Structure 1
Amino acid sequence: MTNTMQAIQIKGPGEAALIETPMPTPGAGEVLVRVEAVNTCPQWDLHILGNEPMFPGSTIEYPYPIGQPGHEMAGVVAATGPGVEGFKTGIKVAAWRDPGKVRQGCYAQYVPFEEAHLIVLPDELEPRECASLELAMCVQASFDQLNGFNAVRDCRVIVCGLGPAGLIAAQLAQVHGASDVMALDPLPARRDMAARLGVAKVFAPDDPELLGLLDRGDLWTTGIDCTGLAPALQHLMALCSKYVHVFGVLRDPVQFGLPEYRKGLALIGYDRHTREAAETALSLVADGRLDLKPLATHQLPLADYLEGIDLLRSRQAVKIQFLP
Structure 2
Amino acid sequence: MSNEIPDTMRQLRIIAPGETTWEVAPTPRPAAGEVLVKVTGISSCPHWDLHILGGEPMFPGQQLDYPYFPGKPGHEAVGIVVARGDGVTDLSVGQTVVAWRDAGTNRPGFYAQFNAFPAEYLLPVPTELPAAQLASLELAMCVEVSFQRLAMLGGVKGKRVGIAGLGPAGLVALQLARYHGAAEVVGIDRVASRRELALNVGASETVDSDEGLWAANRGNDQALDMAIDCTGVPPAVKFLLHRTKEAVALFGVVRGEIPYDGALMWGPGVTLLGYGDHNRLAAETALSAIAAAQLDLGVLISATLPLSDYVSGVEMLRTQQAIKVLFDPWA
| TM-score, structure 2 normalization | 0.94
1:228 equivalent to 2:232? Answer yes
1: distance between equivalents of 2:222 and 2:81? 52
Q: Is the 8 A contact 2:161 2:182 kept in 1?
A: yes
1:309 equivalent to 2:306? Answer no
Moved more, 239-248 or 217-226: 217-226
Moved more, 214-223 or 13-22: 214-223
CA distances 1:269-317 after superposition (whole Å, capped 9, x unpaired): 1110111111111111011011100111111001110000101111111
Shift of 1:198: 2.0
Shift of 1:213: 6.0
Partner of 1:271 in structure 2?
Answer: 276
Partner of 1:14 in structure 2?
Answer: 18
2: distance between equivalents of 1:12 and 1:132? 26
Amino acid of the structure 2 residue aligned with 1:89: V
Partner of 1:201 in structure 2?
Answer: 205
1:37 equivalent to 2:41? Answer yes
Q: Is the 8 A contact 1:151 1:221 kept in 2?
A: no
From 122, 125, 132, the counterpart of 1:121 = 125
Shift of 1:208: 5.5
1:76 equivalent to 2:80? Answer yes
1:1-324 matched pairs, under 5 angstroms: 1-206=5-210, 209-211=213-215, 218-263=222-267, 264-324=269-329
Q: Is the 8 A contact 1:37 1:323 kept in 2?
A: yes
Amino acid of the structure 1 residue aligned with 2:321: Q
Q: Is the 8 A contact 1:96 1:118 kept in 2?
A: yes
Q: Which runs of 5+ in 2 are unaligned?
A: none
Q: Which runs of 5+ in 1 are unaligned?
A: none
Shift of 1:210: 3.1
Shift of 1:100: 1.4
Q: Is the 8 A contact 2:8 2:25 kept in 1?
A: yes
Amino acid of the structure 2 residue aligned with 1:248: G
Amino acid of the structure 2 residue aligned with 1:303: S
Secondary structure of residue in 2 paired with 1:210: coil
Structure 1 residues 261 and 65 mapped into 2: Cα distance closer, same or farther (>3 Å)? same
Amino acid of the structure 2 residue aligned with 1:200: S
Shift of 1:179: 1.7
1: distance between equivalents of 2:16 and 2:266? 49
Q: Is the 8 A contact 2:218 2:245 kept in 1?
A: no
Q: Is the 8 A contact 2:149 2:249 kept in 1?
A: no
Amino acid of the structure 2 residue aligned with 1:307: S
Shift of 1:262: 2.3
2: distance between equivalents of 1:126 and 1:50? 30
1: distance between equivalents of 2:176 and 2:318? 26
Shift of 1:53: 1.4
Secondary structure of residue in 2 paired with 1:34: strand
Amino acid of the structure 1 residue aligned with 2:241: M
CA distances 1:102-137 after superposition (whole Å, capped 9, x unpaired): 100000011111000000002442333100001111
Q: Is the 8 A contact 1:94 1:127 kept in 2?
A: no
Shift of 1:64: 0.3
2: distance between equivalents of 1:285 and 1:217? 32
Q: How much identity, in percent, do the aligned residues show?
A: 44
CA distances 1:162-213 after superposition (whole Å, capped 9, x unpaired): 1111000001111111121100111122111111112120122128553486
Q: Is the 8 A contact 1:93 1:127 kept in 2?
A: no
Q: How many residue pairs are counted as aligned between the two chains?
A: 324
Amino acid of the structure 1 residue aligned with 2:295: L
Q: Is the 8 A contact 1:147 1:153 kept in 2?
A: no
Q: Is the 8 A contact 2:146 2:228 kept in 1?
A: no
1: distance between equivalents of 2:259 and 2:227? 16
Q: Is the 8 A contact 2:300 2:323 kept in 1?
A: yes
Secondary structure of residue in 1 paired with 2:242: helix
| TM-score, structure 1 normalization | 0.96
Q: Is the 8 A contact 1:151 1:243 kept in 2?
A: no
